[in-house]
Amino acid sequence: MEPKVLPSLQSGSSLAVSAKKRRKWNVDHWLSFAFILPSVIAVAVFVYGFIAWSGYVSLSNWNSLVPDLSFAGLKNYLFLFKDFRFQADLRNTLFFTLFFILAVLFMGLMLAVFLDQKIRGESLFRNIFFFPMALSFVVTGVIWQWLLNPATGVNLFLKKIGLDSLWYTSVTVIPGIQWSKIQFGVPVAVIAVVIAAAWQMTGFSVAMYLAGLRAIPEEIREAARMDGAGEFQIYRKIIFPMVAPITVSVVIIMAHISLKIFDLIYAMTGPGANFVTDVPGVYMFETTFRGNYYANGAAISIIMLLSVAIFIVPYLISSRKGES
Amino acid sequence: MAIRTVSRTVLYLLLIALSLFYLMPVYVMLITSLKPLDQISLSEMWQLPHSLDLSSYQLAFEKLAPNFMNSIYLVIPATLLSALLGSLNGYVLSKWKFRGSDWIFTALLFGMFIPYQSILIPLIQFLREAGLYNTIPGLIFVHVVYGIPITTLMFRNFYASIPEEMIESAKIDGAGIFKIYQHIIIPLSITGFVVVGIWQFTNIWNEFLFAVTITTSSQQPIMVALQNLSGSQIVQWNVQMAGALLAALPTLLVYIFLGKFFVKGLLAGSVKG
Amino acid sequence: MKKKALLFIALAFTLLLSACSQSSSSDDTNNKKNSGKLEIFSWWTGAGEEDGLKALIKLFKEKNPDIPVENAAVAGGAGTNAKAVLASRMQGNDPPATFQVHGGAELNDGWVAADKMEPLNDLYDKEKWNDKFPKQLIDMVSKDGKIYSVPVDIHRGNVLWYNKKVFADNNLQAPKTLDEFFKVADKLKAKGITPLALGDKEPWTATMIFENILLGTLGNEDYQKLWTGDLKFDDPKVKKAAESFKKMLSYVNDDHSSRNWQDASQLVAKGDAAMNIMGDWAKGYFVNDLKLKVNEDFGWVATPGSEGQFMIITDTFGLPKGVKNTKDVKQFLSLLGSVEGQDAFNPLKGSIPARTDADESKYDEYGKQTMKEFKEAKLAPSLAHGSAAPEGFVTKANQAVNIFVTQKNVGQLIDSLNQASSELKK
């Protein structure tokens, strides 16, 4: 950029300049609309418009190969909430999301603190924890399906220490309280999927926490040390509270990934015996494209959307407010 | 000092143990891909191959090569177009704010979190009407549209760090929206483009749901073709694993050589911390 | 500064590249639309089946060098991906020239009912096929007197495979009835050998066992009545079949839900399990992939109770409405239905020909015996593979069976099937 010399403002022309500036601003103002208009229209149609269209399909009778958009009311939704498979899906998603987020937060914070100890080969370790994020969920699913199989692998070690190697395929639900059609509780088999998902996504929280830790000025720690605080105390009393806002971001991002998860489970366990590892994403795909139940599938997708929106909308609104 | 040495040792041991855990899947993928099919069974999965057998790579490569190119044709234009759109949007939404622009931004952002299942049925209907169904341009279009939110977010956060005074002084110099974009923003956004580009490249390369529902046979990107390796009735695990490695290679390479930018993108894409 | 310049060049380069690639890829699609290629749509991408398809296409090209052919195979999920793709193409009036479809409900209640298929009676008359295929088979691809597709291969769905060594070591005979099966299974169990290998990671494998037992318990006529709605699922005989199914499930391997059918077949091949109920594509897996010898390492009988019955899974090809190059498609279908075409395809795929006058010498021992039984046995359509009932019902039946395998609640299974049976009358 060539540096321009500002024309010194003469007292007489100041009015003219500001008028010119205003007109210029107006043109640019309209141009700025033009810049973002294509994107705004695209998102309006392809996100909001299509969601509305899916919503409409979910209220229709289109449950065969031939489209039938006659109005069916809430029939498809009522069917789902009485459906064993969908009830199981809701339970599985709840516990999958819960454990997945806890695992990612715990492992992420732990590894980030480890890596923050000025260790040797830090970048090597960091890369080892980050690289799974560059893989596709399909690849992850295929590999972990191999690794966790009851007849082999990790489970052979578990067997040696006397643990049941059948947890991967277990249909046990703990504690298994009868609730509507399903047993409510933690499906043991979901843990396998949690391990694979956490393996892939931990890098995200490590990166987030590490960035947070690095942003804390060394002086703060120094000052605390001067006051006689031990390393653990420094973390507990000073550092962890400072990185707490990061936790919120990580939770939101992980929650939306886990609520709409599809490819990992599709490639890894499938719906599972008695639907212990089924999730709405898999059910939607199978019922829509295998069974041709388009309206049912649309209803599932709308419920998925709502469950994500419960997390995301308040977050988006609050981050908007925090900014302005 | 002794305590410190001990705790350092424990720290390193823990880190090494965890690293092995994170690398274990790759080990299994590698050795499986090097075995002939009759040596592959669940009970032998940990053992090294008796002899090196590269035929599964050859087979996987033969089958995946055309789809690999499809992915290239898909990923490059889709990445560039969505980065360009994101840059424009980010520029306007950070430097040319108007009343309600923040709400537009928030409304755009929402598109990043939706489960794509919720737009899938209308999307397929639309693409068919538009004659874009089962074409790579169709898939490019889809990725560009649904990439708008994330790229806009990343660029907006990126541009937020460009000091307002620079823009203001350029305005006083009489530069308009185009000039400022061309002479100030673009030169400053090289890193931004690299970060967004890598992010979109990885995401689009790894994407499965759109790819599997929108394209067929000769138009399919590599991730779907990878699934296809399993065939309808017989799964050849060695070829599958070799294929998985081949399919993961570009994103892994990008990660290995440009990991710094990848992580930057990761952080930039996380709304606001 | 140098770094930045480099990056900029890289960026410019990729831009250029993408401009080229985009124009070339759109060219591709334009060409494809205009040239009227003969697009053959299937889900044959696995070992064996793909070779068979390629042999068929090669043969066709030799005979019709001027007709361009495109192999449009979509794989994954035992055809589910392909079916999804096909559904959206058909709805968008962009049908492939010809496509793979299972004979029976999948064809008749699906595409024919949706008025998307052209009848092929003229082709059958011209090629004199009406007595070359078994009448029951032609009925499976017909609706209201019109024939809609050409069967190319036959798989048998009611086969019990067993490890010959395990049986010989324990002085056992292959079971022919359910009672014999349970006796054999008890003996094996006492010796610590898993009697029956099951891999129901995908639930259709369990559904196959259930439909086999249904066929054996109900007999051919009543079995077929289930799918027309003439026999209710709460019939005592269905309950009895479900009880047998439940009992059979108590003999399977513990980790069945993490295995697919190949993993289950492997248990039998290695002698960890003694028996396995699976379609005869398992033979291809035993022979081609696991290098076992037919009737030496493994043997087979009809699923206990279903002797003299033939659970049929047939791949057929039809002519969709709205295809421009009808003549070329019929040319291809003629080859598919010819002895030459069927004998080029089936030995490679490991299936048997749908025609009854094919050259037996091209098939192995299992193939020869099955061809003979195919001529004599009563045919029954498979539920698990979409021949007996529409996809909607199959999906729900698979779900019900998946729940049953765990909960073993006969009443609940019957209820679910009864509820789903409203799909059958559509």
Question: Would you call A65 and C396 a contact, using CB atoms and an 8 Å cutoff?
Answer: no
Q: How close C225 gets to chain A, by Cα (Å)?
A: 22
pLDDT in tens, C375-396: 999 999 999 998 999 888 998 9
Out of A4-18, B201-215, C114-128, the most confident range is C114-128
Q: What is the CATH number of the domain that holds C133?
A: 3.40.190.10
Checking A19-23 for CB contacts under 8 A at 24+ apart, the result is: A21/B171, A21/B172
Tens-place pLDDT, residues C35-74? 478 999 998 877 678 889 999 999 999 999 999 998 888 7
* 8 A C-beta contact, residue A253 and residue A104: no
Q: Quick one: pLDDT at residue A151?
A: 65
Mutate: best of A1, A65, A86, partner C, most C CBs <10 A? A65
Q: Do C211 and C197 fall within a single domain?
A: yes
| 3-class DSSP state of C119 | coil
Choosing among 1.10.3720.10, 3.40.190.10, 3.40.50.300, 3.40.50.10260, the CATH entry for A80-323 is 1.10.3720.10
Q: Which residues contact C302 (CB under 8 A, 6 or more apart)?
A: C158, C159, C160, C176, C308, C309
Q: Which of B37, B135, B217 sits opposite C74 (nearest CB)?
A: B217
Place of tokens 């695990």: B237
Residue B216 belongs to a domain = yes
One domain for residues C387 and C337: no
What pTM does this model have? 0.84
Mean pLDDT (whole number) for A281-304: 91
- Residues of chain A in contact with residue B177, where contact means CB-CB under 8 angstroms, are 28, 31-32, 35
pLDDT at A51: 97
* CA–CA distance, B2 with B200 (Å, rounded to integer): 48
**Which residue in chain B is spatially nearest to A113 when comparing CA positions?**
B11
For residue B262, give the chain A residue with the closest CA.
Answer: A134
Percent of chain C with pLDDT over 90: 70
Name the pLDDT band for B42 (thresholds 50, 70, 90): low
Q: What's the whole-number mean pLDDT along residues B110-127?
A: 91
Give the CATH number for residue B128. 1.10.3720.10
Q: Is the confidence at residue A121, as pLDDT, over 70?
A: yes
Q: Which pairing describes strands C273-277 and C352-353: parallel, antiparallel, or unpaired?
A: unpaired
Task: Judge whether B10 lies within some domain.
Answer: no
- State residue B124's pLDDT score: 86
Q: Report yes or no on B132 lying in a domain.
A: yes
- Confirm or reject contact between A19 and chain B (CB < 8 A): no
Of A46, A147, A313, the CB nearest to B119: A46
What pLDDT, on a 0 to 100 scale, did the predictor assign at position C308? 93
Tokens of C240: 């009895």
What SS3 state is found at A229?
coil
The whole-angstrom distance between C207's CA and the closest CA on chain B is 16
pLDDT at position A152 is 62
Range with lowest mean pLDDT among A15-29, B42-56, B151-165, C87-101: A15-29
- Check B228 against C47: CB less than 8 A apart: no
C218 and C303 assigned to the same domain: yes
Mean pLDDT in residue range B140-155 = 94
* Same domain, residue pair C271 and C396: yes
Poorest-pLDDT segment among A1-10, A179-188, C212-221: A1-10
C14 within some domain? no
Tokens of A227: 């006051």
CA distances to A196, B52, B118, C55, C150 from B31, in Å: 19, 9, 39, 33, 44
pLDDT in tens, C272-298: 999 999 999 899 889 887 889 999 999
Contact between B190 and C7 using a beta-carbon 8 Å cutoff: yes
pLDDT in the model for residue B235:
62
pLDDT value at B217 more than 90: no
Question: What's the confidence (pLDDT) of residue C22?
Answer: 41
Residue A323's pLDDT band, with cuts at 50, 70 and 90, is low
Query: A15-52 burial, b for 16+ CB within 10 Å, e for fewer?
Result: eeeeeeeeeeeeebeeebeebbeebbebbeebbebbbe
The predicted pLDDT at position A24 comes to 55
Q: Looking at per-residue confidence, does B4 or A233 come out higher?
A: A233
Residues C79 and C123 in one domain: yes
Helix then strand count (H, E) for chain A reads 14, 2
CA distance B92 to chain A (A): 6
Whether residue C305 has pLDDT greater than 70: yes
Does B122 contact chain C (CB < 8 Å)?
A: no
- pLDDT value of position C320: 95
pLDDT at res. B271: 56
How far is CA C83 from its chain centroid? 12
- Determine contact: B40 vs chain C, CB below 8 A: no
Q: Is residue B3 part of a domain?
A: no
Query: What is the structure's pLDDT at C168?
Result: 96
Of B262, B25, B253, nearest to A130 by C-alpha is B262
Q: Using a CB-CB distance cutoff of 8 angstroms, which residues of chain B are in contact with residue A324? A: 102
Question: Model confidence at A164, in pLDDT bands (50, 70, 90)?
Answer: low
Q: Looking at the 3D structure of chain B, how many domains does it have?
A: 1
Which domain range does residue C204 map to?
A: 159-311+382-425
Is residue C24 situated within a structural domain?
A: no
How many CB atoms are located within 10 Å of the residue C125 CB?
11
Q: Do C402 and A273 touch (CB under 8 A)?
A: yes
A317-321, C163-167, C357-361: segment of lowest average pLDDT:
A317-321
What rounded mean pLDDT belongs to chain C?
A: 87
Q: What is the pLDDT of residue C21?
A: 41
Same domain flag for C324 and C231: no
- Give residue C416's pLDDT: 94
Q: Which residues of C touch B68 (CB under 8 A)?
A: none
Full residue range of the structural domain in which residue B256 is found = 25-268
Residue A18 has pLDDT above 60, yes or no: no
Give a yes or no: residue C94 inside a domain: yes
Q: How confident is the model at residue C372 (pLDDT cuts 50, 70, 90)?
A: very high
CB-CB neighbors (< 8 A) of A156 in chain C: none
Are the CB atoms for B190 and B158 separated by under 8 Å? Answer: no
**Rounded Cα–Cα distance for residues B144 and C114 (Å):** 35
* Average pLDDT for C203-211: 94
Closest partner residue to C8 among B133, B134, B190, by Cβ?
B190
**Count of domains forming chain C:** 2
In a domain, B51, yes or no: yes
| Residue C23 pLDDT grade (very low, low, confident, very high; cuts 50, 70, 90) | very low
Q: Name which of A32, A54, A114 is nearest B177 (Cβ-Cβ).
A: A32
Report if residue B102 sits inside a domain.
Answer: yes
The predicted-structure confidence for B45-73, as pLDDT tens digits, reads as follows: 777 887 788 888 998 888 889 999 999 99
Shared-domain flag, residues C118 and C96:
yes
Q: What are phi and psi of C118, to 5 degrees?
A: -95, 140
Judge contact between C214 and C269, C-beta under 8 A.
no
Among the partner-chain residues A42, A245, A302, the one whose CB lies closest to the CB of B118 is A302
Strands C98-102 and C38-42: parallel
- Tell me the per-residue pLDDT of C151-161, one tens digit each, with 9 for 90 and over: 999 999 999 99
Mutation target among B234, B237, B257, B260 for the C interface, most CBs of C within 10 A:
B234
Parallel, antiparallel, or unpaired for β C309-318 and C378-381?
parallel
Say which residue, B226 or C237, is predicted with more confidence: C237
Query: How close C406 gets to chain A, by Cα (Å)?
Result: 6
C195/C224 same-domain check:
yes
Is residue C19 over pLDDT 50?
A: no
* Chain C positions in Cβ-Cβ contact with residue B232 (cut-off 8 Å): 43-46, 49, 75-79
At residue A176 the predicted structure's pLDDT band, cuts being 50, 70 and 90, is: confident
Q: Check if A290 contacts C (Cβ < 8 Å).
A: yes
pLDDT at C25 over 70: no
Q: How far is B246 from chain A (nearest CA, A)?
A: 11
Query: How is chain A split into domains, by residue range?
Result: 20-58, 80-323
Domain assignment of residue B36, yes or no:
yes
| Average pLDDT of span A95-118 | 95
Q: pLDDT, tens digit, for every residue of C96-130?
A: 999 999 999 999 988 998 899 999 999 999 999 99
Residues 257-276 of chain A with CB under 8 A from chain B are 259-260, 262-263, 267
A-chain residues within 8 Å CB-CB of B117? 260, 262, 281, 284-285, 297, 300-301, 304
Average pLDDT, chain B: 86
Amino acid letter at B8?
R
Q: Considering the domain boundaries, does residue B212 fall inside one?
A: yes
Per-residue CA distances from A127 to A57, A123, B132 (Å): 45, 6, 39
Cross-chain Cβ contact B114/A47 below 8 Å: yes
